[in-house]
Amino acid sequence: MLLELEQGVVQLLQSAGLKAHPWSGKPEELFERPKYVPAIRVVIEKVDFTKKAGYGFGLNAQVSVILFFRNLRDEGQGAYHLIKAMVDNLTNKAANGFLLTPKDITLLYHESGEFAYKVTFSAEGQYAVPEKPEPLVTEIRFEEV
């Protein structure tokens, strides 16, 4: 469920020509400057579940797209251009069954000519817990020897 959502967001960004990657490092390294900029990292920050019928749940996730860059206004490489491209290519799109809606844009840091913005999206979808037989309900048969 979370992996599918993350992969869906990354695929939507990559299909728009943006070099996005899911974050797979240590949590404390998430906001460290990447080696190459601009760089886009995708992270799922929070998930809320709402009980539906049976094994079904409504799911509302907070997905953050973090953009690292060195320039605000350059065409194609500047933050403002890339943020607009991210919002345009994710808003009201389905990422593997999750509808994306923009929530906010936040400046995370700026130092020595390097900047990072976080663009947050809400992702709404459905999740059904797979039904599995209870281990204690399984019949045990004994044979006489």
The 3-class secondary structure across the chain, one letter per residue, is: CHHHHHHHHHHHHHHCCCCEEECCCCHHHCCCCCCCCCEEEEEEEEEEEEECCCCEEEEEEEEEEEEEECCCCCCCCCHHHHHHHHHHHHCCCEECCEEEEEEEEEEEEEECCEEEEEEEEEEEEEEECCCCCCCCCCCCCCCCC
138 part of a folded domain: no
Mean pLDDT along residues 50-61? 88
pTM of the predicted protein model = 0.79
Q: In terms of residue numbers, what domain contains 113? A: 2-128
> In this structure, are residues 127 and 56 in contact, taking their beta carbons and an 8 Å threshold?
yes
Say what the pLDDT of residue 134 is: 57
The gap from C-alpha 3 to its chain's centroid, in whole angstroms, comes to 8
Among 6-15, 62-71, 72-81, top mean pLDDT goes to 6-15
Say what the pLDDT of residue 88 is: 95
136 part of a folded domain: no
Residue 137 pLDDT level (bands cut at 50, 70, 90): low
Residue 66 pLDDT level (bands cut at 50, 70, 90): very high
Say what the pLDDT of residue 75 is: 62
Mean pLDDT along residues 110-117? 82
User: Does residue 139 have a pLDDT over 70?
Assistant: no
At which residue do the structure tokens 């809320």 appear? 48
143 part of a folded domain: no
- The count of domains in the chain is 1
> In this structure, are residues 36 and 19 in contact, taking their beta carbons and an 8 Å threshold?
no
78 part of a folded domain: yes
15 vs 128 pLDDT, higher one? 15
Residue type, 87: V
62 part of a folded domain: yes
Mean pLDDT along residues 79-106? 93
> In this structure, are residues 75 and 88 in contact, taking their beta carbons and an 8 Å threshold?
no
Residue 90 pLDDT level (bands cut at 50, 70, 90): very high
User: Does residue 72 have a pLDDT over 80?
Assistant: no
Residue type, 15: S
Say what the pLDDT of residue 79 is: 80
Residues 6+ apart with CB under 8 A from 95: 5, 8, 9, 11, 12, 123
Q: How far is 144 from 126, CA to CA, in rounded Å?
A: 49
